[in-house]
Structure 1
Amino acid sequence: MPRTTRRDSYHHGDLRAALIDTAMELIAEQGVQGFSLAEASRRLGVAVSAPYRHFADRDELLTEVGVRTGELLVAAVTAERGGDSPEDRLVAVVRGYVRFAAGHRALFEALLATLTPAGEPELDRAMRPVKGAFHDAATALSGGDPAAAEALGMAVIAIAQGHAGLLYLGTFGGGEEAVETAVRRAAAATRAVITGRAALA
């Protein structure tokens, strides 16, 4: 994505949104460790003090990046096609999760870094549909038993997150073929856990 230092690189009065967009660009290019408010200001061509009219500090802006990334993850999970059965829906969620992690590594890692037990309300709201997709299908497969649904949901989330991590490590090779291998294996592992879900108790 081309750099710009033009002051007209954002719509007047929408610096807050422009800062979020620019932060996402910088993180995608350099990783979250390479991001700073000063660099975002330089790219937008504004004073280094300007971001502080909208964000208290770097962490607050990163939370907003997490919210936006969570929304993108929701869209990716929702777009993944699956069948109508709860099993097919749960497998589709896993596939969408791994695909998103593969295509947006830096942003995905930034999102995970902002997810804490006492997360920001906005971030919690952004992630709720993803959590709900795991939970709803797991609940349907567990006959409405909350404990069984939680055990299954956690196991499947671990599968999705684990395959994303293995993909980052190069376990499946490189390129698009590696992504498809990771997605396929995550789907197969999910179906295996669903089949043997009674053992999770």
Structure 2
Amino acid sequence: MFWRSGKVNGIHLVVNSVNLKGVTVNRRPSGTHHGDLRNALEQAALALVTERGPHGFTLAEACRRAGVSVSAPYKHFADRDALLVSLALKGYQEQQRRYRAALASSTDPAEQLAAFASAYVRFAAEERALFDITFLAGLDKGRHPELAAAGSALHDDLMPVTSRVTADPDAAFDLLVRVSAAAHGLALFLQQDMLPGAWNTLATVEAQAARTARDLVGHATETTSTGGRHVHRDR
């Protein structure tokens, strides 16, 4: 029997499959991918970033990997950067989840920052594609202010901890930058196999990040108690 879309007795008929000579052709509504085009494209992009890095693929390649037409993603993403921004926001959300759990593991600020530094290294190792997109994709925060807001949310979670080490806001910010920079550098060392032999393991680098955080807290505490001066950041 030949079917066509139309009205029969006032009822719309929508055809999802057509039987021609015993061959059934299944049709999927335009602009969807098993009901979740957005997620399919994000997963395809993550796989490509894992293989090639955040600069090594095009939106068309993500479409092919997801099994959709090259025109399909524009319903959700204006361009490749918009797709990466969506993933970067997921990266920030995952970091926030992990870092809040780390901060909740202790009430001592030195141990809280040590746990944060360790969690930073573990996030970079376990979520390599999200880490690379978040920090290495070169996304323009001026064009995508939601990224700046997501980064500020992490800052807002961590500043109260460093502010318990030193009451000076500039010194507290300086401590947060130092701890974060040390953890970031160690995470990259681990990723790029820059540490020798037994030192180039996740457990070892996590421990190193934690020790460094404790040392930085100790230095900040000593500086505060002796009335040392700190370099003030621009306001």
Question: Which residue in the other structure is 2:19 paired with?
Answer: none
Question: Which residue in the other structure is 1:3 paired with?
Answer: none
Secondary structure at the aligned position of 2:160 is classed as helix
Matches within 5 A, 1:37-76: 37-76=59-98
Please say if 1:171 is aligned against 2:190.
Answer: no
Counterpart residue identity of residue 20, structure 1 = E
TM-score calculated relative to the size of structure 1: 0.83
Alignment counterpart, residue 125 of structure 2, candidates 94, 97, 102:
102
Structure 2 CA distance, aligned partners of 1:131 and 1:140? 14
Deviation at 1:189, TM superposition (A): 0.9
Structure 1 CA distance, aligned partners of 2:100 and 2:182? 18
Deviation at 1:79, TM superposition (A): 3.3
More strand by share: 2
Q: Percent identity?
A: 36
Deviation at 1:102, TM superposition (A): 1.5
1:134, 1:157 within 8 Å by CA — same for their partners in 2?
no
- Change in Cα spacing, 1:117 to 1:41, as seen in structure 2 (3 Å) is closer
Question: Which residue in the other structure is 2:39 paired with?
Answer: 17
Deviation at 1:111, TM superposition (A): 0.7
- Change in Cα spacing, 1:174 to 1:141, as seen in structure 2 (3 Å) is same
Please say if 1:128 is aligned against 2:152.
Answer: yes
Structure index of larger Rg: 2
- Change in Cα spacing, 1:185 to 1:130, as seen in structure 2 (3 Å) is same
- Change in Cα spacing, 1:52 to 1:115, as seen in structure 2 (3 Å) is closer
Counterpart residue identity of residue 134, structure 1 = L
Number of aligned residue pairs: give it: 193
- Change in Cα spacing, 1:109 to 1:175, as seen in structure 2 (3 Å) is farther
- Change in Cα spacing, 1:85 to 1:161, as seen in structure 2 (3 Å) is same
Deviation at 1:97, TM superposition (A): 0.5
Secondary structure at the aligned position of 1:34 is classed as coil
2:122, 2:202 within 8 Å by CA — same for their partners in 1?
yes
Structure 2 CA distance, aligned partners of 1:177 and 1:83? 27
Gap regions ≥5 residues in structure 2: 1-27, 231-235
Task: Please provide the CA RMSD for this pair.
Answer: 2.6
- Change in Cα spacing, 1:115 to 1:146, as seen in structure 2 (3 Å) is farther
2:46, 2:129 within 8 Å by CA — same for their partners in 1?
no
- Change in Cα spacing, 1:174 to 1:129, as seen in structure 2 (3 Å) is farther
Please say if 1:188 is aligned against 2:211.
Answer: yes
Please say if 1:161 is aligned against 2:184.
Answer: yes
Alignment counterpart, residue 173 of structure 2, candidates 150, 159, 174:
150
Gap regions ≥5 residues in structure 1: 1-6
Deviation at 1:65, TM superposition (A): 1.2
- Change in Cα spacing, 1:25 to 1:174, as seen in structure 2 (3 Å) is farther
Structure 1 CA distance, aligned partners of 2:46 and 2:196? 27
Structure 2 CA distance, aligned partners of 1:64 and 1:174? 37
Structure 1 CA distance, aligned partners of 2:172 and 2:68? 50
1:86, 1:141 within 8 Å by CA — same for their partners in 2?
yes
Alignment counterpart, residue 118 of structure 1, candidates 103, 118, 142:
142
